[in-house]
Amino acid sequence: MLNLYRKGAMLVVRLEGELDHHSVADIRVEIDEALEENLPEILIFDLANVSFMDSSGIGMIIGRYRQMQEQGGRVGFVGINQKIDKLMQVSGLLKIIPIIEGSEADESNKPSQTGNA
Amino acid sequence: MKVINQVKLEMLNDSKNEAFARVVAASFAAQADVTLEEISDIKTAVSEAVTNAIVHGYSNSVGYVGLDCKLMDAENPLLPVRVLEIEIRDNGRGISDIARARQPLFTTQPELERSGMGFTVMETFMDEVIVDSSPGQGTKVILRKEIGAAGKLPKKSVKSGVDAGSEAGGIDD
């Protein structure tokens, strides 16, 4: 359902499968625990393997964005795929959270990151 | 409009049934000539309506959510489209101000991180959204989408919630 790993000052959250009201309940708790433990400067949501998302997923991401803002941190996206693109456009989320490109995004898209997780 | 096929279903307001409801709606829609994008739109809209019934209609009480799927022939010789109509029904607390509930970013439960985008998503992803509700009388949401009209009718432009919010809510001075 989700995969968390630390990379320098970044915490990457790789989400998988369907993000709805039912599934975000557990995801929210796991991310919040990792945020508390790691206190990252940057939180990255990797959505490449998300097959479905509705506004409950948007609500969960906005909630984490607010937390990061309070701590002076930043949030970014990688892997916005075609299945969720329309929802992301409608939500307006891409206006407040940037899509990270370049080497950072490439790193977080690698299939497995062991070692410093 | 002539009804071609119909499915009626009642399910407990367990959040696991959100996924079940969208799979049912998508499977039902598949008998028409739907595109992948249309299937995705239908799943998202149904998910929003069923989640509303569970989260807002019933909150902490137990109840049933009704899901009726209907495929109809528009009987328009000039434009041979079919209309998918999906009704999502609950017997929960109902909505006192429907116009307000439909506004982007409005939510009664910000503490639960509800984005307030549910109705906006339904309206963007479907052709027509009808809401019938009053306090204590439950809520009925009817979602309609023309199937097979892709490329024949002008596409609706996608408007973001942030833009729509400032138009409707008068956030600017």
- Which chain A residues are within 8 Å of B55, Cβ to Cβ? 21
Which of A62, A87, A95 comes nearest B44 by C-beta? A87
pLDDT at A20: 97
Among A21-35, A95-109, B87-101, whose mean pLDDT is lowest? A95-109
- Which chain A residues are within 8 Å of B51, Cβ to Cβ? 20-21, 54-56
Residue B17, phi then psi, degrees to nearest 5 = -75, -5
- Which chain A residues are within 8 Å of B109, Cβ to Cβ? none
Top pLDDT among B152 and A37 is at: A37
Is residue B115 within 8 Å of residue B109, measured between CB atoms? no
Q: Do B124 and A90 touch (CB under 8 A)?
A: yes
Residue A112 lies in a domain: no
Q: How confident is the model at residue B173 (pLDDT cuts 50, 70, 90)?
A: very low
Among A85-89, B104-108, B156-160, whose mean pLDDT is lowest? B156-160
Is residue A64 within 8 Å of residue A35, measured between CB atoms? yes
For chain B, say whether A38 makes contact (Cβ under 8 Å).
no
Is residue B107 within 8 Å of residue B114, measured between CB atoms? yes
Please give the average per-residue pLDDT across B32-40, as a whole number: 93
pLDDT at B164 over 50: no
> Quick one: what percent of chain B has pLDDT higher than 70?
86
Tokens 């995705």, located at residue: B40
What letters, b where the CB count within 10 A reaches 16 and e where it falls short, cover B65-92?
bbbbbbbbebeeeeeebbbbbbbbbbbb
Q: Which structural domain range is residue A77 located in?
A: 2-102
Sign of the Cα torsion A92, A95, A97, A100 reads positive
Which of A22, A25, A54 comes nearest B48 by C-beta? A54
Q: What pLDDT, in 10s, does the model give residues B41-82?
A: 999 999 999 999 999 999 889 999 999 999 999 888 877 789
pLDDT at B166 over 50: no
Catalytic center residues of B: 48, 52, 114
Q: What pLDDT, in 10s, does the model give residues B7-26?
A: 999 999 999 999 999 999 99
Mutate to test the interface with B, among A18, A19, A21 (most CBs of B within 10 A): A21
Which of A18, A59, A91 comes nearest B114 by C-beta? A59
A77: domain CATH number is 3.30.750.24
Angstroms from B3 CA to nearest CA on chain A = 29
pLDDT at B156: 54
Q: Do B162 and A58 touch (CB under 8 A)?
A: no
Query: Which CATH code fits B2-169?
Result: 3.30.565.10
pLDDT at B10: 98
- Which chain B residues are within 8 Å of A25, Cβ to Cβ? 15
pLDDT at B149: 65
Is residue B121 within 8 Å of residue B164, measured between CB atoms? no
Compute the distance between CA of residue B74 and CA of residue B82 in angstroms, rounded to an integer: 5
Q: The tokens of B5 are what?
A: 């096929």
Compute the distance between CA of residue B125 and CA of residue B143 in angstroms, rounded to an integer: 10
The SS3 assignment for B134 reads coil
Q: Do A55 and B117 touch (CB under 8 A)?
A: yes
Q: How many domains does chain A have?
A: 1
pLDDT at A67 over 50: yes
pLDDT at A77 over 70: yes
Residue A87 lies in a domain: yes
Q: How do the domains of chain B map onto residue ranges?
A: 2-169
Which of B18, B113, B120 comes nearest A22 by C-beta? B18
Residue A31 lies in a domain: yes
Is residue A43 within 8 Å of residue A64, measured between CB atoms? yes
pLDDT at A116 over 90: no
The helix (run of H) or strand (run of E) holding residue A11 is strand A10-19
Please give the average per-residue pLDDT across A72-84, as a whole number: 95
Q: What pLDDT, in 10s, does the model give residues A86-114?
A: 999 999 999 999 999 755 545 545 544 44
- Give every CB contact of residue A68 below 8 A, 6+ residues apart in sequence: A35, A43, A74, A75
Q: How confident is the model at residue B150 (pLDDT cuts 50, 70, 90)?
A: low
* C-alpha distance from residue A113 to each of A12, A30, A39 (Å): 10, 18, 19
pLDDT at A76 over 80: yes
Residue A108 lies in a domain: no
Angstroms from B1 CA to nearest CA on chain A = 30
